[in-house]
Structures are given as structure tokens and as C-alpha cells.
Structure 1
Amino acid sequence: MMNTVDAVARLAQAAYDGDATVVARLLGGGVAVDGLNSRRRSALDLAVHQGHGEVVRLLVGAGADLEQRAGEYGESTPLCLAALHGHTAVVGVLLDAGVHPEARNRFGNAPLVLAATAGAEGRPDTVDLLLDRGADIDVMMKDRTPLDWAAGFGQVRMVHQLLVRGATPTAQALALAREHAERYPGSRQKFERVIDALRAAGATAGADRAVRRPCEREEGD
């Protein structure tokens, strides 16, 4: 069985490069699918990070650990890493393999929140896929929903997308958008657009669902 350090390193590099032919050959030769390279990263970790869906499918088929630590510091999981980077095809492969759409990393980060808040306007396609595959649109992460997080970051497009998909227009989302509009004058316009969207959807201060925790700061209309 080719489980030498060199063979594992070659598998990891081929996965990073997206070279499915080499990956398949090395796996067929018996290289350990979850072996770690010199930087303590596996082939699946690197393929997910780079968004190589075909390679991820090969590694999953070879029995790669779907819940392994991923990311440069082992801080994530394959699903959370794919969601963060908006690699929608990879997310689909992982979900098809049985990963739960709400499976969190060791810091408690939810894939849907990561997808909704990454980059300037989130990862719209990844968000839709996670929702289509059963993720709770109002999942709580650190006492905030995906909509709350997106509103706090001033992500206008994502706020609209989540509202269209049925997110609860919480009082907390409204409070965060208002607070940040005052705190960041240079970004005030985008937060005002978020506020308008939330109010149009029915959000008012103090009108949060009973299951939510009270907002730390609420403002009157």
C-alpha cells in the first residue's frame, strides 16, 4: 500500500490542482485517502478549498472522512469550507454523500450563515442550494439568524434573497442595520436599503418571534 509521505503529498497536490486523473490513479494504488501532507492538510480539504467538485467526488467515493478538520488551521469542516467559498458544486457533492446541511464546524459556525455572509454579498447560489436541501433559514448562530448577520453586514442583495426565501424579518436585524448605519456613515446608504427591505417585509422594533432572545439594543421606529 502506497502510504509513504511522498505518495500522500502527491495525492494532496493533485487534489489541490484539480487533477482527477492523478487522484484516481493514486487512490487506485492504495494511497491513504485521508493522509496529511507536510502542512497537515488532506486531499479532501485542499480539493474542497479549491472548489474541485470532480476530485471531491472521487475522494468521497474512496471513503474520505466527511467530518474531518479542514482549513489552514483545521478550524473548519469540508461543508463549512465549501459554503464559505461559495463552491456550490462541492457543497452538492458533500450533501449527496450524506453530510447534514446544518452540520457545524468546531466553532459552531453554521454553513448557511457562512454562505450568506461571505464576501461582499454572500454566496447566493450556495445559499439557495443549502435551503433547497433542508437547511433552516432561521438557524441561530451566536444568537443571530442568517438574516440578522446579513443585515448587520449591510448585504443588501442577500437580505432581499433571504426575505424572498422566507426568512423571518426580525427586530434584531432591523436594530443591527440601524446601529451600523449610524456607526459607519460611509456605508449609511446600503444600511438604509437594508432597513427599507426589512420594514417592507414587516420588521418592527420589538416584534421579534417569541423564540428569539431579546435584542441587546432596540430602537423605536
Structure 2
Amino acid sequence: MSMGMGMSMGMGIVDQLTRAAGDGDAALVARLLGEGVGVDAPDSEGHTALDLAVRRGHADVVRLLIAAGADPEQRAGEYQESTPLCLAAAHGHTAVVRALLDAGAHTGAQGRMSHAPLVLAATTGDEGHPETVDLLLDHGADINVVMKDRTPLDWAVWFGQVPMVQQLLDRGATPTAKACTTAHERTERHPESRQKYERIIDALLAADPATCTEPAIRHACDQENGTGTTPSGMRRR
């Protein structure tokens, strides 16, 4: 018995489609769609073909599914809490992000968690995903979008991502007193990382000296309630 026959007998046709999409098997995806499988039909675990193709970075399959009518702004993620664009941005799948943007996916806050794709692209991984950030900005993403009370720049400062802080500033991000306050606080709390936070403070000062004045920092401190969150929703320590 062939592998294809075994798969057909062992799982439903929708499950075959989602597995093929997750595996990046564009030929099989095209064949199954041609046989009439619903492009956005959920499989036995509740996932669609687009969801899995996006998560695994298969841009060619993503374009194929969208051409067949897949909704680029459908619910996605393990618990249907996200969107294809947020998932692609968080994973740094730039080619997938491009395919979704070409299909009309919007760049603002989205999904059940109201995540901003730009914040996810800027802060996930050790240093964010620079190419994905540039692509989103080139397609009109708001560089000062606020997610959980912080801008992408504020979050990059929080995580001590020196190159991303500089990239966002170079692209026109507005330095904030909150960003400068965060850099000073992180320097005090994490002396082992003092050098990188001092580099961040220097970058913020170079972009706008007024952001790190004593009155601005004091005002920002007054606004902080001490229970900030990370982009993923975890409370800071």
C-alpha cells in the first residue's frame, strides 16, 4: 500500500490538507483543493491549512491557499487567539508576512489579544526580526502603535535589544520618557546588563535629548504603576 493511500485511509481529507500545508507540500495542497476540500475548513484539532502553513513559514503554500480563497485575517494560533499576520511576524517569517500583506491583511492591533504585529516582530527572538520590521513599516504599520501601554520602541528598550532600538529610531520611532525611564530602571536592576542599557540611553538622547531630562523621567515614573506586562501578557518581575 502506498504512503498516499495509507494517509487517505488513516485521516480525513481536511486533515490531509492541513498536514500537507504544514509540511509545505504545495503539490498535494493544490490537488486536495482541486478535489473540493474547503480551504478554510478546520481539521480534527481545530486548525486550518493557512494557520499551519503560516506558522511553519511556507510562503508558497500561503500564497496558494490565499489564491484559493483562504481568509488572510482568520483566527489562528493554538487557541484561536491570534491571526496569521501576528504569527508570521512573531516567527520572523518575512516572506509569509509579505504574502499576507499582499493579500490585504491589516497591520493594526488584531486577534483576541489585540496584538500588534510590529511589536511582535520587533521583540520576539533574541534581537527581534529586523527584515520583518522593515517590511511592516514599508507597508504602513504605525511605528508608534501602542500595545499593552508600550510602543515597539518601549518594548525593545525593555528587552535590552540595542540593534532594534536603533533600527526603530532610525525609522522614525518617537523616543518616550517611558523608554528612557525603563532603560534607567533596567540598568539598576540588572547591573550585568548595564553596558547595553547605557548604549540604549545614549541612542535615545541622540534622537531626542528632551526625553531623558529629569522632569520627563520623573513624570514617566509617576505614570508607572509597577505592574507592567510583557507583550505575551506575563507580568514583569
Aligned letter for 2:151?
T
1:182-202 CA-partner distances (Å, limit 9, x unpaired): 112222222221111111111
Which has the greater radius of gyration? 2
Aligned letter for 1:204?
C
| Alignment partner of 2:117 out of 108, 111, 115 | 111
Higher helix share: 2
Which residue of structure 2 aligns with residue 140 of structure 1?
146
**Residue 120 of structure 2 is aligned to residue 120 of structure 1:** no
SS of residue matched to 2:75: coil
Distance, in Å, in 2 between the alignment partners of 1:26 and 1:161 is 43
Structure 2: any 5+ residue segments left out of the alignment? 1-10, 226-237
Which residue of structure 2 aligns with residue 34 of structure 1?
40
Which residue of structure 2 aligns with residue 94 of structure 1?
100
**Residue 179 of structure 2 is aligned to residue 173 of structure 1:** yes
Which residue of structure 2 aligns with residue 204 of structure 1?
212
| Alignment partner of 1:216 out of 224, 228, 231 | 224
Distance, in Å, in 2 between the alignment partners of 1:116 and 1:105 is 18
Which residue of structure 1 aligns with residue 66 of structure 2?
60
Which residue of structure 2 aligns with residue 81 of structure 1?
87
Structure 1 residue 161: Cα displacement = 0.2
Which residue of structure 2 aligns with residue 20 of structure 1?
26
Structure 1: any 5+ residue segments left out of the alignment? none
Distance, in Å, in 2 between the alignment partners of 1:83 and 1:196 is 28
Structure 1 residue 207: Cα displacement = 4.7
**Residue 75 of structure 2 is aligned to residue 69 of structure 1:** yes
Distance, in Å, in 1 between the alignment partners of 2:92 and 2:137 is 14
Q: TM-score, normalised by structure 1?
A: 0.90
Q: TM-score, normalised by structure 2?
A: 0.84
Distance, in Å, in 1 between the alignment partners of 2:190 and 2:68 is 49
Distance, in Å, in 1 between the alignment partners of 2:72 and 2:135 is 18
Contact 1:174–1:195 (CA under 8 A) maintained in structure 2: yes
Deviating above 3 A after TM superposition, structure 1's stretches of 4 or more consecutive aligned residues are: 205-208
Aligned letter for 1:128?
D
Q: How many residues align?
A: 212
Distance, in Å, in 2 between the alignment partners of 1:184 and 1:167 is 25
Over the aligned positions, Cα root-mean-square deviation in angstroms equals: 2.1
Aligned letter for 1:76?
S
